[in-house]
Amino acid sequence: MSQEPSILSPSSNPYSSDSAAVRAELSQIDVSIRSAALFFVVSAIGWLMIGTVFALITAFKAHQPDFLGAYEFLTFGRVRSAHLNAMALGWGNNVIYAVGLWIMARLCRAPVEHKGLLFIAGAFWNIGLTIGVIGILRGDITSVEWLEIPQYATPMLAISYALIGVWGIIAFRFRKGDHVYVSQWYILAALFWFPWLYVIAQAMIIWFPARGVVQSLTNWWFAHNVLGLWLTPMALATAYYLIPKVLGRPIYSYYLSVLGFWALAIFYNWAGVHHLIGGPIPVWLISAGIVGSVMMVIPVIVVGLNHHMTVVGFHKEVWRSPTLRFTLFGAISYTLVSLIGSSMALRSVNEVTHFTHFTVGHAHHGVYAFFTMIMFGGVYYMMPRLLKREWPSAGLIRLHFWGSAIGITIMVVALQAGGWIQGLEMNNPEIPFLETVKNTVPWLKARSISGIFLTVGHIAFGVNFFWMLFAAGAVRAKEGPTLLSEEGSAAQ
């Protein structure tokens, strides 16, 4: 075996270098990305609030169809899609650009260059998305789920993706040190996968539409991979960074984390086809999708085991940390939602859950209970380090956590229990269809109640964030518990 120099040798590793020129201080890196990250977080919170309003309207309309029924632009189909895009592309992407790129910059151990690229990308992204959401409400919506944004707004989003991807490659190229931490693998891969998914889906569905079921296949390949190859790797990258960082304890098994990454990279791409079980597409293709979905058990167990073993013995510390409280909630949800998702891909289970609210509950389980909760944790950890200020109110953090945790739990339980019953009833020819619809109403009302909890949580989050941003509590902040060190404070 050749004796190559270790990637961890002190001479090449900026983490242990004595030379200040080689070793970039984290606080310097934080300062270098502060303005861009703040821009994205503010945008993300703005979209979170807008998406929450759309969500509440949608939820109430589901069991009270005449609610705001006099307004054409607030019909169920439009406002529901406006909610999805505001949350997934507005909140989701902006918070990814903030937290994900901040983690990337820190792990690359080099102050951020080419910030202009990030600002241009952010401007394109938010302007394009605003035009898109307004277009959806005006009635220019496409009929394709997860690609509802009208054709005229999509080029701006594509340009934005490209710029973010280019920035990621530049940051990685000019990193200090040779080692690539597992979070960097996830972020790099996601930055690589998502433009590919988006461009292909746009080309084959919107710009040069393929015929027939190929459109459906492309649609669900894209839609499921937005979750699996964009939101999931970004959230896992954040969790793999935050959990050991906050606890000061290395991840339990780095080997498992790498195994989990490559298993996700290999298997997830196939999973989307299970949305078309029973559809008029080749059976082998669906079977391949089912196999891919079930094989996802491997990375899920690996990640769940790794996170669990890392926090064993540190449960009190987890509870005392706002960051880890959210992050661990998200990590546990990842295990649950993924195992449920794999089982939903089985034909016998899918016969019941398909076309029911179970799927809606599953989607929220993944995007909110897993992805969003981890990203909340990321924002709670990142902001004090960017601003050198403490969060002004612990009470608002607790209110945010409990509002979100209780809200999403009610929603997932209600929609999945109600959806399962709905599926069983729909498969029973003795029960009229209208009766199956009426029987879902109590569960849909429960969802509306869950929405109120979530709204309270989001408002608490927003108030705390802008309170912090506009400097109230800054005096206490200088000695706050989430600040890193004297060096970190002094470097501002």
Decide if residue 249 touches another protein (CB under 8 A): yes
Place of tokens 């590793």: 13
Q: Segment contacting another protein (CB under 8 A): 58-66, 256-264, 358-366, 440-448?
A: 256-264
When binding is defined by CB under 8 A, the residue of 57, 118, 163, 251 that contacts another protein is 251
How many separate helices (H) and strands (E) can be counted in the chain?
A: 22, 0
Based on the shown chain and the rule CB under 8 A, indicate whether residue 173 belongs to the binding site for another protein. no
Q: Are 169 and 181 in contact (CB under 8 A)?
A: no
The residues, ordered by sequence, that sit 6+ positions from 56 with a Cβ below 8 Å of its Cβ are 448, 451, 452, 455
Name which position in 241, 358, 371, 453 contacts another protein (CB under 8 A).
241
Sequence-distant (6+) residues with CB within 8 A of 396 are 460, 461, 463, 464, 467
Our finding on whether 246 is near another protein (CB under 8 A) is yes
Q: What character string, x for contact with another protein (CB under 8 A) and - otherwise, covers 184-223?
A: --------x---x--xx--xx---xxxxx-x---------
Which stretch, 8-16, 44-52, 331-339, 422-430, contacts another protein (CB under 8 A)?
A: 8-16
* 124 interacts with another protein by CB under 8 A: no
The DSSP H or E segment spanning 295 is helix 283-295
Identify which of residues 444 and 477 has a Cβ nearer to another protein in the complex.
477
Q: How far is the CB of 364 from another protein (least distance, A)?
A: 27
Closer CB to another protein, 86 or 144, in the complex: 144
| Pair 103, 97: CB distance under 8 Å | no
Residues 378-397 that bind another protein (CB under 8 A): 380-381, 390-394, 397
In order of 80, 141, 361, 385, 440, the CA distances from 444 in angstroms are: 14, 25, 11, 41, 6
Cβ proximity to another protein: between 218 and 372 the closer is 218
Q: Which listed range, 54-62, 119-127, 155-163, 317-325, lies at the site for another protein (CB under 8 A)?
A: 317-325
| C-alpha triplet 250, 251, 253: angle, nearest 5° | 120
Provide, rounded to whole angstroms, the least separation between the CB of residue 193 and another protein: 8
Stretch that binds another protein, among 2-10, 56-64, 120-128, 409-417 (CB under 8 A): 2-10
Smallest separation (angstroms) from another protein to the CB of 5: 8
Instruction: Work out the burial of residue 111: count CB atoms within 10 Å of its CB; fewer than 13 is exposed, 13-18 middle, 19 or more buried.
Output: middle
Q: Which listed residue (21, 173, 248, 434) binds another protein by CB under 8 A?
A: 248
Residue among 150, 157, 145, 123 at smallest CA distance from 135? 150
Rounded (10°) angle between helices 322-344 and 373-387:
150
Q: In this structure, what are the phi and psi dihedrals at residue 103, rounded to the nearest 5 degrees?
A: -65, -40
317 binds another protein (CB under 8 A): yes
Residue numbers 431-490 binding another protein by CB under 8 A: 476, 479-485, 487-488
Confirm or reject binding of residue 154 to another protein (CB under 8 A): no
Rounded least distance, CB 179 to another protein, Å: 5
Is 321 one of the binding residues for another protein (CB under 8 A)?
yes
CB of 204 to another protein, least distance (A): 7
Per rule CB under 8 A, is residue 140 in the interface with another protein?
no
Cα dihedral across residues 176, 177, 183, 185: positive or negative: positive
Cα–Cα distance for residue pair 94/112, rounded to 1 Å: 18
